[in-house]
Amino acid sequence: MQTISKKTISDVLLHNDVAVLTYTINYPYFTSTCGTDTTLAINQFYEIQSRQAEKYCREVLYAQAVKDAMYAKNNEFPFHSYEFFSDYVVTYNENCITSLYNDQYTYLGGAHGNTLRQSQTWDFQTGRQLQLTDFFSNATNLNDAIFNVIQHDISDRLKEAPASYFGDYPELIRGNFNINGFYLKHCGIVIYYQQYDIAPYASGIPEFFFPFENCKKETP
Residue pair 50/18 in contact by the 8 Å Cβ criterion: no
Beta bridge partners of 83: 22, 107
Average pLDDT of the residues in 38-59: 98
* Strand order, beta sheet including 97-107: 2-15, 18-32, 82-94, 97-107, 114-123, 128-129
The residue out of 129, 162, 196 marking a domain boundary is 129
Q: Read off φ and ψ for residue 208, nearest 5 degrees.
A: -140, 125
The residue out of 82, 112, 129 marking a domain boundary is 129
Average pLDDT of the residues in 106-116: 94
- For 152, counting Cβ atoms within 10 Å of its Cβ (0-12 exposed, 13-18 middle, 19+ buried), the class is exposed
> Do 120 and 22 reside in the same domain of the chain?
yes
Q: How many domains does the chain have?
A: 2
| Residue 160 within any structural domain of the chain | yes
> Do 117 and 17 reside in the same domain of the chain?
yes
Average pLDDT of the residues in 202-214: 91
Average pLDDT of the residues in 5-21: 97
- Residue 25 pLDDT > 90, yes or no? yes
Average pLDDT of the residues in 7-16: 97
Average pLDDT of the residues in 8-28: 97
Per-residue three-class SS string for 41-104 = HHHHHHHHHHHHHHHHHHHHHHHHHHHHHHHHHHCCCCCCCEEEEEEEEEEEEECCEEEEEEEE
> Do 138 and 68 reside in the same domain of the chain?
no
- Residue 58 pLDDT > 80, yes or no? yes
* Domain hosting residue 198, numbered range: 132-211
Report the CATH number at residue 188.
3.90.640.20
Residue 2 CB coordination number (10 Å): 20
> Do 90 and 118 reside in the same domain of the chain?
yes
Long-range contacts of 202-209 (CB under 8 A, 24+ apart): 202/164, 203/164, 203/165, 205/103, 205/115, 205/117, 206/154, 206/165, 208/149, 208/150, 208/153, 209/185
Residue pair 209/157 in contact by the 8 Å Cβ criterion: no
Distance of alpha carbon 126 from its chain centroid, rounded?
Answer: 24
- Residue 198 DSSP code: S
Rounded to the nearest integer, the mean pLDDT of the chain is 94
- Specify the pLDDT at position 151: 96
> Do 142 and 91 reside in the same domain of the chain?
no
Report the CATH number at residue 111.
3.30.565.40
**What confidence category does residue 145 fall into, taking pLDDT thresholds of 50, 70 and 90?**
confident
- Residue 217 pLDDT > 70, yes or no? no
**What confidence category does residue 199 fall into, taking pLDDT thresholds of 50, 70 and 90?**
very high
Pairwise pLDDT comparison (105 vs 142), residue with the higher score: 105
Average pLDDT of the residues in 155-179: 96
The residue out of 77, 111, 129 marking a domain boundary is 129
- Specify the pLDDT at position 141: 74
- Which residue from 21, 181, 165 is spatially nearest to 107, judged by alpha carbons? 21
The whole-angstrom separation of Cα 29 and Cα 165 is: 37
- Specify the pLDDT at position 216: 57
**What confidence category does residue 1 fall into, taking pLDDT thresholds of 50, 70 and 90?**
confident
> Do 123 and 139 reside in the same domain of the chain?
no
The whole-angstrom separation of Cα 49 and Cα 204 is: 24
- Specify the pLDDT at position 49: 97
- Specify the pLDDT at position 140: 62
- Residue 39 pLDDT > 90, yes or no? yes
